[in-house]
Structure 1
Amino acid sequence: MSNKQVTAAIVTYNRLDLLKESLAAVLNQTEYLSHVIVVNNLSTDGTAAYLDTIQDERVIVYNSTENLGGAGGFNKAVQLFAEKLDDEYVWLMDDDTIVEPDALVHLVDFIEDNEHVGFVNSVVRWGTKDGHPSWMNVPAPRGFTWQSPLNSDNPGVEVVNSTFVSVLFSRQMVSMIGLPQKEYFIWGDDMEYTNRIADVNRGYTVLKSVVVHKSKENSMPGDIVREVDASRLWRYAYEFRNRILTARRISKRDMRHSALGAIRFELPRVLLKRNVKYRWQKAKMIVGGVWRGIWFNPKIEFAAGMQSSDVRSINAILRAYQLAHPTERMTLDREIELINHCQLEDLKGINQATDRFIMDYKVQMANKFKK
């Protein structure tokens, strides 16, 4: 067991009863917890008054003067962690996340015991610990390599990204990739951010770390076709806009697939499937969201004094290697070796195509991140 210290961060908006339960569970962790940041997104249900009564010195409260949305709340939480505290890790969650007493210890032990880990998340159940999986928080395992760390006392499954319902990453990672994208406002900021992390070092679901998500419904993520709650419709305009930028930051090809997928598959289902409620409002949100997403490209910001120059991209390394060795048959073992040990600079000087790609990539990154 290490002596690492962790800051938990909870973003809350008008769910006081759940916040009380969530905060109590976090403060009841068995190991590692040092601080808890609570970002109150201008709640109107007595949340601020309740937070004023807390005497536990570990709790740090930020009462926002505006509703920043979930994305803005997590942006502020990570910024406060980076600029005001010295803990090694930050652990993010919503105010309806109820963590088991040993959830944190399994996350920290896994990330400390395994090399090249960018983030770790928990297994998320819905309603109760024995409930079904929380479908909106089930991450996709990465093909073939997902079972690599299974044979250990604290197993993990490699995943492509994660929601902000119990995800942990390091201070060093924040310095390398910046802050969550506050401009998303709601939905998708967690996918984009953990995609960024996984392009530096991969992410894992730690199977022994369990939390409960007490969301109102156990719905699928972004399922606009089956949505029946009129009060939630406005969120889908953000969903489709944000989805395009998230895909673009993987590749232009992913962006095209994401945009075309929304128009070719989700839009016809909304318009033609039987018994779809609010079909015209939904169609407008899909088309408008995709269109805005094509032009939506806010820069990534960093916490003050925390922009690292020692940043690598797995995707860029693999692409540069392909250019440097165009006739080589890439095996999965070779790919894993490159991911774990290669730097982009190691591939310079092999041929002009590789050098040109590396130069263009560096220019692209300089334009992407805010100085």
Structure 2
Amino acid sequence: MSSLVAVVVTFNRLKHLKVAVEALEQQQCDAIVVVDNCSTDGTREWLQERGAEADKLDVIHAPRNLGGAGGFELGYRHALAEYEPDWLVCFDDDAYPLPGAFEAFLSSDLDSIDAAAAAVYFPDGRICEMNRPSLNPFWHWRLFFKTVLGGGRQGFHIEDRSYDSMEPLPIDSTSFVGFFVRREMVEKVGLPEGRLFIYGDDVLYTLMISRAGGRIRFLPWVRFAHDCSTFAVSSKTYAPLWKAYYTYRNGLRVYHTAAGALFWLYAPVKITQWILQVRHYENPRAYLRVMRLAIMDAIRQRYDRPHELVVELCKS
């Protein structure tokens, strides 16, 4: 049977991490790599204690907070060098595989699959929207027109009925919650783009796999839970404001990868939408300054701005 290593990135969510590690210890995998992004809530101490008791737990302490993107890049690099697994699976610290998830994956017919997405649910059983896999509408004209003509996210994300299927479903992109990828595919396309810090790194990476000819499939019988209670889809503003910087800067790179030459027609529309969001902010000048900084950094392909500086710039 294929070997499998899990990569989890954590930062100051010890309560959630404990649930994730406990769930992982009941799964069929060869190692559990946890990347701690310099947590200050007792995570480091707990991981040291747990690591002394659990043979499979392999803890990596990042030199600084690298964000989710940097954490996954570090975790992938370590897992590949240390274990040379056939497969990697990754997710955030507030997610966890449901009982039997890894066994269900490993017992699937994986011969024609290079990467796979699990079905992700909230703990109460509802489908987790932020982890719903999708097709790239710029590669599928029918979906493109469906999206443009008012379909929105529903125009290119997989349907609810797909979650009840027993057949693998081709997709183009997905999130890093319950994402499985072959070692050979990582060697082909490279590691996740850690400089993005947070937001968009998963969509960008899976689009790159698809563009390189990788076959990504949605496997609905492989199930994960995501206790992302802090994620508010109804909010019209970013708080703290630095989140807008990463969303917009990284978003432009993702849109460029997805749209190709059409990006130059699509980007002005998207930027206009962002500008219109200013009406929802109490400090519109600060919002517009952060948005402009994000756009300029995206144009310059600058992804090395330190997070601490981004936070400070968003305060001033």
Normalised by the length of structure 2, the TM-score is 0.80
Indicate how the Cα distance of structure 1 residues 254 and 287 shifts in structure 2: closer, same or farther if over 3 A, else same: farther
Could you say which residue in structure 1 is the equivalent of 2:180? 168
Q: Distance in 2 between matches of 1:235 and 1:153?
A: 36
Q: Deviations over 1:210-264 (max 9, x none)?
A: 21111124434xx8x7136x33x21120111111222333454243245213222
CA distance in 1 between counterparts of 2:106 and 2:244 reads 34
- Measured after TM superposition, the shift of residue 103 of structure 1 is 1.7
Distance change in 2, residues 1:81/1:119 (3 Å): same
Q: Gaps spanning 5+ residues in structure 2: where?
A: 144-157, 305-316
Partner of 1:101: 99
Q: What is the aligned partner in structure 2 of residue 227 from structure 1?
A: 237
Residue of 39, 42, 64 corresponding to 1:43: 39
Which position in structure 1 is the counterpart of 2:313? none
What secondary structure sits across from 1:53 in the alignment? helix
Tell me which amino acid in the other structure corresponds to 1:182. G
User: Counterparts of 1:257 and 1:52 in 2: how far apart (Å)?
Assistant: 51
Q: Deviations over 1:174-203 (max 9, x none)?
A: 110000101101111111111111122132
Q: What do the CA deviations read for 1:319-351 (whole angstroms, capped 9, x no partner)?
A: xxxxxxxxxxxxxxxxxxxxxxxxxxxxxxxxx
Higher RCO, 1 or 2 (CA under 8 Å, sep at least 6)? Answer: 2
Larger Rg: 1
- Code of the aligned partner of 1:37: V
Alignment-derived partner of residue 76 in structure 1? 74
* Alignment gaps of 5+ in structure 1: 300-371
Q: What is the count of residue pairs matched by the alignment?
A: 280
Alignment deviations for residues 65-85 of structure 1 (CA, whole Å, 9 cap, x no partner): 211111110000110111111
Give the AA of the match of 1:27. Answer: E
Q: Deviations over 1:88-117 (max 9, x none)?
A: 10000000002101222333344615x1x2
Query: For residue 135 of structure 1, what is the amino acid of its counterpart?
Result: E
Q: Could you report, residue by residue, the CA deviation over 1:267-314 in whole angstroms, capped at 9, with x for unpaired residues?
A: 22x134xx5555443333333312221121679xxxxxxxxxxxxxxx
Alignment identity in percent?
Answer: 23
Gap change, CA 1:179 and 1:219, over 3 Å in 2 = same
CA RMSD, aligned part only?
2.6
In 2, Cα distance between equivalents of 1:40 and 1:297 = 25
**Residue 237 of structure 1, aligned match among 224, 245, 254:** 245
Q: Residues 26-37 of structure 1 correspond to what in structure 2 (within 5 A)?
A: 26-29=24-27, 31=28, 33-37=29-33
| Structure 1: distance between partners of 2:254 and 2:128 | 22
Contact 1:135 1:218 in 2 (8 A): no
Structure 2 equivalent of residue 246 of structure 1? 254
